[in-house]
Amino acid sequence: MISQKAQYAFRALLALARLDDDEVSMISDIASSQNIPKKFLEQILLDLKRHGIVQSRRGKMGGYLLLKGANEITFGEVLRIIDGPIAPLPCLSKMAYRKCDGCDDEEACEIRKVFAKVTDATRKILDNTTIADAIADPEKADIPLIA
Amino acid sequence: MISQKAQYAFRALLALARLDDDEVSMISDIASSQNIPKKFLEQILLDLKRHGIVQSRRGKMGGYLLLKGANEITFGEVLRIIDGPIAPLPCLSKMAYRKCDGCDDEEACEIRKVFAKVTDATRKILDNTTIADAIADPEKADIPLIA
DNA sequence: ACTAACACTACTAAATAGATAGAGATTAAG
DNA sequence: CTTAATCTCTATCTATTTAGTAGTGTTAGT
């Protein structure tokens, strides 16, 4: 399961992606429209800001907006920021590789082989689906990415 | 990430699958050969037993062995027993469906659509890979399951 | 200056993960 | 039939993570 926090992050980003150009959205507006606890959302957006996904304007008339284009923000990228590694085993993670406890021979590990397939399949989807794709026409989203 | 417990379960099952017919393996042997805390493994095997995956013999000369054939035990099945639902969102789980908090229209949810693909891909792999497959010749394991 | 907005840090409660402890039940062997 | 080996079961424990709350600080528009 992905965390509640990650779900909130996706909801917020989808909301921001639907804004018109140069329009901003306040934390409290996103919080109420997306059913997210305001103070929690604050932290999430701040985190996304630090990672270069969104930007903010302070003071009156301030708010949040995307920094990158919606078509440049992948689900994988966001999930890694909020929830950490996508790989189901530490030994399969690119961003946080670690040998599994008590595993001597990684190359021979049968468990690793099976979950390597899962990881590949998951990455192919999440790293090739952007916020823009998700908002776009559902029919289009089903067209294979690799022609 | 799958839990440490699930990793232990897989290691134990792979070890049991490598036994000769009618041979049994003691918890302590599996624990020491697979680097698993013994008392923890006890609980895991008991759980697998209750779910009809392994069987046990008590008393002297006792131990554990598989109940089902290694070619009938899928990774998905084991993972569901130990870690619970495979789906990354509650609204995508078959075994433990639940509406996501604050989600009104499930059919329209863009997040759900993206993660539905992840879930399908993951299930295809985990529900079609058995303990026997994992132990078998690695070349064979790469042959697509659906011809 | 006032006020509306984001920024930051710290704290907390509940759940989960990863065990550990110890008494009980069963069985083989002497 | 007693002993020792082995699985069975329930309870407990600690650390970490999750999900959130609180409060103070900073910035910007009017």
Give the bases of strand D that a protein CB approaches within 7 Å.
4-11, 18-23, 26-30
Q: How far is it, in rounded angstroms, from Cα B7 to Cα B2?
A: 7
Q: Residue B74: which residues within 8 A CB-CB, separation 6 or more? A: B126, B127, B128, B129, B130, B131
Q: What pLDDT is stored for residue B115 in this prediction?
A: 98
Chain A residue with minimal CA distance to B15? A110
CA B145 to chain centre: 19
Q: How far apart are CA A33 and CA A58, in angstroms?
A: 21
Asked whether the beta carbons of residue A14 and residue B110 sit closer than 8 angstroms, the reply is yes
In this predicted model, what pLDDT tens digit does every residue of B36-85 receive, in sequence order? 999 999 999 999 999 999 999 999 999 999 999 999 999 999 999 999 99
- Positions in chain A short of pLDDT 50: 147
pLDDT at B11 over 80: yes
Domains of chain B plus CATH, in order, are 4-66 (1.10.10.10)
Question: What is the pLDDT, as a whole number, of residue B142?
Answer: 57
- What pLDDT is attached to residue A142? 56
User: In Å, what is the separation between the CA of A52 and the C1' of C9?
Assistant: 21
Nucleic acid strand C: bases within 7 A of protein CB = 3-10, 17-22, 25-29
CA angle A103, B68, B63 (to 5 degrees): 65
Yes or no, beta carbons of A7 and B111 under 8 Å apart? yes
pLDDT at res. A104: 86
Report the pLDDT value the prediction gives residue A139, as an integer from 0 to 100.
53
pLDDT at residue B147 greater than cutoff 90: no
Comparing alpha-carbon positions, the chain B residue that sits nearest to A96 is B1
Please name the residue that has the structure tokens 């990650």: A6
- Contact (Cβ atoms closer than 8 angstroms) between residue A132 and residue A17: yes
Answer yes or no: do A89 and B1 touch at CB < 8 A: yes
Nearest nucleotide (CA of B84 to C1'): C16
Q: What is the per-residue pLDDT for B102?
A: 87
Best residue in B4, B5, B7 to probe A by mutation, most A CBs within 10 Å?
A: B7
Encode pLDDT of B73-122 as tens digits.
Answer: 999 999 999 999 999 999 999 989 999 998 889 999 999 999 999 999 99
Q: Concatenate the DSSP letters of all residues of A20-87 into one string.
A: PTT--B-HHHHHHHHT--HHHHHHHHHHHHHTTSEEEE-STT-EEEESS-GGG-BHHHHHHHHH----
Residue A59 phi, psi (nearest 5): 75, -175
